[in-house]
Structure 1
Amino acid sequence: MSRHVLTGINSATTVAIGWDRPLETFFVQVLGPHPEMEGEDEILFWRGTDLRELPTAADAIAEARNWAILPADLNATLETDRLKTLGKSDGEHQAAVKRRLFPD
């Protein structure tokens, strides 16, 4: 899994973007200050939590663009993250959980 944290367009938010190899998806997570719990974050937006939900770096970047100013090389960075995991596979327990959560 990779995770790159960026400052949001609204400086109170942070945007995490990366690659989740077990779910075979890129993800985008936006956190902001929780309105009722001092010092805690609230999830404002989260995509890439389902199997192959955001299959390309471009899909994730399109979602993140609404929340942060993105570095010009982000697509290449995310694709490199994905490519680094191509030779890895799920362990026995991880595969069992995926079969239960995402039956074919």
Structure 2
Amino acid sequence: MSEIIVGWDRPLRTFFVQVHTPDPDEEGETMLLLHEGCDIDRQLSMHDLKVLISPYASLPPEIEQAMKRDQSGSISQVDGPSQRHMKDLIRQLFDYDD
């Protein structure tokens, strides 16, 4: 059985998803099948997230509503100096375009 992790990442301003499945070769370990919503300059919408997880599961309405509350509750927050600095470093390190 796959494990699906979803949520809202306030500093990246995006929804994210991870899908793990049991590793057939290592008992008790998992393999990462999908990991989206972790790019610094690419936001994942709720629609995008639902499409991505559709081969594995559907998003329960109560989870969707909780994630939307997380998003709306933090959307007006701004990055502090440390977060801005780290994002700049990540962009330089991974050669992200602005």
TM above 0.5: yes
Shift >4 Å, 4+ stretches: none
1:44 is aligned to: 33
Q: Secondary structure at the match of 2:61?
A: coil
2:53 is aligned to: 64
Identity %: 32
What CA deviation, in whole Å up to 9, does each residue of 1:38-57 have, x standing for no partner?
21121111111112534321
Provide structure 2 residue ranges, at least 5 long, that are not aligned to the other structure: none
Which one has a larger percent helix, Structure 1 or Structure 2? Answer: 2
How many aligned positions are there? Answer: 93
What CA deviation, in whole Å up to 9, does each residue of 1:21-80 have, x standing for no partner?
111111110011123222112111111111253432121111112211321344433221
Q: TM-score scaled by structure 2?
A: 0.78
Q: Secondary structure at the match of 1:43?
A: strand
1:53 is aligned to: 42
1:89 maps to which of 55, 75, 78: 78
Query: Aligned pair 1:28/2:17, yes or no?
Result: yes
